[in-house]
Amino acid sequence: MNDYINLHDVNLFYGTNQALKDVKLQAAKHEITAFIGPSGCGKSTLLRCLNRMNDLIPNVKITGEISVAGESLYGANTDVESLRKNIGMVFQAPNPFMMSIYDNIAFGPRRFGVKSKAILDEIVEKSLRAAVLWDEVKDQLKKSGLSLSGGQQQRLCIARALSVEPDVLLMDEATASLDPISTMKIEELVQQLKKDYTIVMVTHNMQQAARVSDKTCFFLNGEVIESAPTKTLFNNPEDKRTEDYITGRFG
């Protein structure tokens, strides 16, 4: 299953501006794949292709082939809603809804028709435990999600993404707005989640990619320059540009 997520010749245009060029990429199941590269290199854009969040932006044109578990994401019969349910996403800034911690987690399952209080209770506890937040919030589930600290809010968002039982979790610089201790907690959490989910993360922070991921892809100007197991990429980069970037010569 080394090509659980498979991208073939993906090109993306914002109007006439090409943001991704002939991207070829594979990501394995139950692994963490990290996208690194300087700002504006297209790594977030590519991540957003994986759950079709780019559909929300007008004038975006995508060509090429993207599939997850053998199913094409941009097929004629693709159900975008169930696709997004299957491929969860965590954003750069924590964005819990303006509702209680409980309702934040129960939101997704409720939209997909879960009504029973007992089942919802179970999902809320399971998701919060999976995001290692349960022990901190179990006595205050009725409190607003916004009353938590930034790191807790981000873990709440992870729990919310897990509540609809996705297979893949996309993380778009999920620790960029957090302090080092919260970042460390999220990194530990991501390592645990790998057992049950396939994770693709975008990060600004090369050390983070080195610490956490199994595979790293280096992006530059919309192209994948190099994509290799993390250790190989950081210790023996093949391309000169990769070496320049990871040794801090630019970016």
Partner 1 sequence: MQQTNSTASKMSGRHWRLMFSDQVFKWFCLFSAIVLCVVLFSIVFFMGKTGVLTFEFVKVTEYFFSLNWNPGFDETATYGAGIFFIGTILLTLLTLIISVPISVGIAVFLAEIAPTRLKETVRPILDLLVGIPSVIYGFLGLTILVPFVAKVFGTQLGDGLLAAALVLSLMVLPTIGRISDDSIEAVPQKYREAAYAMGCTKLQTIFFVVLPAARRGIVSAIILGMTRALGETMAVVMVIGNVPQLAESLVQPTSVLTSNIVMQIMAVPFESTWNYALFFMGFSLLVVALLLIVFVRIINNRSEVQ
Applying CB under 8 A, the residues found at the interface with partner 1 are 51, 53, 56, 81-86, 88-89, 91, 93, 95-99, 107-108, 111-112, 146, 157, 160-161, 163-164
Q: Which tokens go with 212?
A: 């956490």
Nearer to partner 1, 165 or 243 (CB): 165
- In the bound state with partner 1, the residue whose beta carbon lies nearer, of 9 and 71, is 71
Least distance between partner 1 and beta carbon 211 (Å)? 25
Provide the minimum distance between the beta carbon of 241 and partner 1 in the complex, in angstroms, as a whole number. Answer: 32
Q: Nearest CA to 152 among 144, 246, 106?
A: 144
Q: How far is CA 18 from CA 40, 56, 121, 142, in A?
A: 12, 18, 46, 46
When the beta carbons of 172 and 226 are compared against partner 1, the nearer one is 172
| Smallest separation, CB 111 to partner 1 (Å) | 5
With contact defined as beta carbons under 8 Å apart, do 195 and 162 qualify?
no
Alpha-carbon distance of 22 to 124, in angstroms, equals 41
Query: What distance in Å separates the CA atoms of residue 156 and residue 165, rounded to the nearest whole number?
Result: 15
- Judged by beta carbon, residue 42 or residue 88, the one nearer partner 1 is 88
Q: What is the DSSP letter of 236?
A: S
Reference 168, options 64, 88, 58, 49; nearest CA is 88
Output the smallest distance, CB 57 to partner 1, in A: 11
CB of 213 to partner 1, least distance (A): 21
- Give 12 or 156: the residue with its C-beta nearer to partner 1: 156
CA nearest neighbour of 193 among 210, 173, 213: 213
